[in-house]
Every structure is written in structure tokens, then in C-alpha cells.
Amino acid sequence: MKLDYIYHSGFAIEANGVTVIIDYFKDSSATEYNRGIVHDYLLNKPGRLYVLSTHSHPDHFNPEILRWKALRPDLTYIFSGDILQNGKADKQTAVYLNKGDVYQDNNIRVEAFGSTDIGVSFLIDVDNTRFFHAGDLNNWHWSEESTPEEIEQANTDFLNELNYLKERVEHIDVTMFPVDNRMGKDYYKGAQQFVEMIKTTIFVPMHFDQTYKAADDFEKIAEENGCRFFKITHRGEIFDITE
């Protein structure tokens, strides 16, 4: 089984006969439009294809993905409910999930958990492996700019969502979670709280654009909490999670 890093918060899971693309924003080529691991490989790969979007922010949901149905009539879209509410797609296009909702078929199970922004996060079970894609779930605050009250509220909201997840999930095999240094000095606080509370085998940073070094700086904390850390070095990088 493989995990492909596309770009920003975009990933793909390559399982046995199943491909899952999550939060597509841009393809992995930094120089050519619509070239890279998605258009050159994944959209043509045999097997069932699922395309998931955690919410309607443009760096997590690119409406171009709606055109992929013409290429792959068997494609199944699984979207956060806010994408429908915001008019980004119509009711017939996708399965829409809000917090607590579940989609399941013979290949995949997707459960929607909460977010501290719009939309949801996704717990994805495929091929006996459990993935968590946080979407915009994070302890979002900017220590240099936020008031103490705003910081306290952000922390409370985030811990509430973590506790909700912890009550329902004992262990996650692969977690994809924001490690975004644009937040300032406490940019990895949310990621640290996550690995301290939720048992995770593999931690994969995301939502860092191309600031690879800042994302890598979380490696020590992840490993101190029992996680294997995937150090991303470039767009389109492929990780074998069975090794």
C-alpha cells in the first residue's frame, strides 16, 4: 500500500484495487498545469476511484475534480456537507457527510469527524488500514497576533474535537495533519497535542505549501510520541506504508 503526496494537503492512497484522492488542490508538477502524479498516473489507474474533499476552501477543493467524472464514470465523490451548502457542487454529484455521518461500501469506509474551521475531517478505512486526514482541523491561533482569550478559545475548541475523536478511535495507522509555520512560533502545537492524545503509527505533515524544513522540524516530537514520521521532500513523493 502506498501514500502519495500530491501538494499542500492533497494526498492519494493506493490500496489493493482502490485509489483514494483527498483534498486535491493542484497536481504535483510545479511547472506544468494539470501534469503530475494525478493526471499522468492516478486518473488512469485500474480499479475503483474515490475522490474526497474535507471542505470548500480553495486549497482543499478544486472544482476541476468535478470534470474527472467524464474520464472515470465509475468515480465516487465523497464531500463535506459545506461543499453542497456553499453551492460548489449539486446534490446528485456526491455523497455528502457532516460530522458523525458514515459512507461505507465493499471497498471503503469513511467517517466524518469535526473541524475547527469549516467542513470536516475524515477517518478512512481501506484495505485493513486506517487513515485520518485532518482537513482544517487544528489548533488555529497566531500567538503573536491573537488575544489570550482567542488563544484559549482555539485551544478549547480543538481539544473538544480531539476528545470526541479519542472516545471513538483507539488507534490510527496513518495521520495527515497540518504543520503550517505561517501560524508563528506555536505552529506545531496542534500537531503535538494530536500525537500526545491519539495513538498514531505514522504521522505525515501537510498544509505547509513548500516550507519543507518547517514541517520536518516536527519529526522529533512525532518520534518522541511513538510515531514514524514521513519527511516529505518534494511534490509527487510516494511512500510505501507497508515497509
Residue 205's pLDDT band, with cuts at 50, 70 and 90, is very high
- Give the right CATH number for 2-240 from 3.40.50.300, 3.60.15.10, 3.40.50.150, 3.30.420.250: 3.60.15.10
* Per-residue CA distances from 182 to 136, 148, 160, 197 (Å): 14, 19, 24, 24
Integer Cα distance of 241 and 243 in angstroms: 6
pLDDT for 202 beyond 90: yes
> What percent of the chain shows pLDDT beyond 70?
100
| pLDDT band at residue 97 under the 50/70/90 scheme | very high
Q: Provide the 3-class DSSP secondary structure of residue 174.
A: strand
Torsion of CA 214, 152, 161, 128, to 10 degrees: 20
Express each pLDDT in 40-71 by its tens digit.
Answer: 999 999 999 999 999 999 999 999 999 999 99
Please compute the mean of the pLDDT values over residues 24-48 and round it to a whole number: 96
pLDDT score recorded for residue 222: 97
Residue 185's pLDDT is what?
84
Look-up: residue for cell 518522541? Answer: 224
Distance of CA 53 to the CA centre of its chain: 8
Q: Is 48:76 a contact under the CB 8 Å cutoff? A: yes
Mean pLDDT of 109-122: 97
Question: What is the model's pLDDT at position 182?
Answer: 85
